Amino acid sequence: MNQLLPTNQNRRLLAQALALLGLTGAWSSVCAQTFPSRAIRLISGASAGSASDIIGRAVGEKLQAEFGQNVLMENRVGAGGSVAIQALQAAPADGHTIFVYTSAHTVVPLLSKVNFDPVRDFSGITPLAVVPNVMVVNPGRGFRSVKDVIDAAKLKPGSLNFASVGAGSSTHMSAEKFKAAAGIDTVHVPFKGSPEAINETMAGRIDYFFAPLVSALPMIKAGRLLPLAVGTQKRSSLLPDVPTLTEAGVPGADYVFWIGMLVTSKTPRDVVQKINQYTLKALQTPEIRERLAALGAEPMPLSPEQFDTMIRDELTVNANIIKTAGIRTE
């Protein structure tokens, strides 16, 4: 049987035969035993040099060593990840093509017409990392705590504003969840990217910004931005003295921006489990932990079942945020 497995034609014939016999579990096991049989493609919906690209490549290097096959990163940017998803869907559902994406997976389908279902069409491998956003202000604005911002916003509703890098982005969703949890009315000002939003915050024209930590950290260290809280459930190792939003008095405001790996839902389950096993092993290595720490990121190892559940739950939470805030992308 092993002599038959290397060709795609023989794989398909064997899969059809086992399916007719009701032995799909046996086929899944056979696929896992021979996986990987060729190079693995990591399809990223983000641009080269982004946090998800850097983390995906780092994990890919470890998987290459473990699997003994080349692991290649391909950046397919555009249409909110849809370009990358099209490449994933066009590939055989055998685990050799893996989607590296972010929590945008649970936002984009709620805001745009897409040709996929974020739950039905995918199987999660595992999140790789959680990357915190940090609430920053201009030190000259006089805000010294999250409470100061909330008090000012409640004193004059609609008088404060906040930045984002676009409607539905993690920076926007973080701020809208904070608004709802704090019970305040502030004005959304979208920008094209983090550099512009950070510059406007430093200039004092923006009152606060839930900035990606890796983008804001140089200005925080330079004293040009003051961090008031991190948007994750735990404090950041890069800003150990900065409280979480819950610690700052706003429970329920944390927003998880994750980077993770998914495959198509037709991928044999045993293959999904095998990729998960080796990926979790990679996340435990000192090299990966050091590279994540440099980005202010924390490993987020989960089982495929836990990741799938997280995605379903997150879609519900994000739908509520979008409805409450009236978020539109057009």
Q: What confidence tier does 330 reach under pLDDT thresholds 50, 70, 90?
A: low
Rounded mean pLDDT of 149-157? Answer: 98
Instruction: Tell me the C-alpha distance between 191 and 147, whole Å.
Output: 25
Rounded mean pLDDT of 9-33? Answer: 60
The whole-number pLDDT of residue 78 equals 79
Instruction: Tell me the C-alpha distance between 241 and 199, whole Å.
Output: 24
Q: Where in the chain is the domain with CATH 3.40.190.150?
A: 35-130+258-325
For the chain, how far is it from start to end, CA to CA, in angstroms? 55
Q: Could you tell me if 84 and 97 are in contact, meaning their C-beta atoms sit under 8 angstroms apart?
A: no
Q: Look at the alpha carbons of 80, 83, 89, 93 in this order and tell me if their dihedral is positive or negative.
A: negative
Of the chain, the percentage scoring pLDDT greater than 90 comes to 82
The whole-number pLDDT of residue 304 equals 98
Q: What confidence tier does 235 reach under pLDDT thresholds 50, 70, 90?
A: very high
Q: Label residues 43-62 b or e (16+ Cβ within 10 Å = b).
A: bbbbeeebbbbbbbbbbbbb
The whole-number pLDDT of residue 23 equals 53
β-pair type (226-230, 133-137): antiparallel
**Largest pairwise CA distance in the chain:** 75
Q: Where in the chain is the domain with CATH 3.40.190.10?
A: 133-230
Per residue in 292-329, pLDDT (tens digit) is 998 889 999 999 999 999 999 999 999 999 999 999 87
CATH topology for 133-230 is: D-Maltodextrin-Binding Protein; domain 2 (3.40.190)
Model pTM score: 0.86
Rounded mean pLDDT of 144-155? Answer: 98
CATH number, span 35-130+258-325: 3.40.190.150
Q: Is the pLDDT of residue 64 over 90?
A: yes
Measured CA angle at 167 (ends 88, 53), to 5 deg: 40
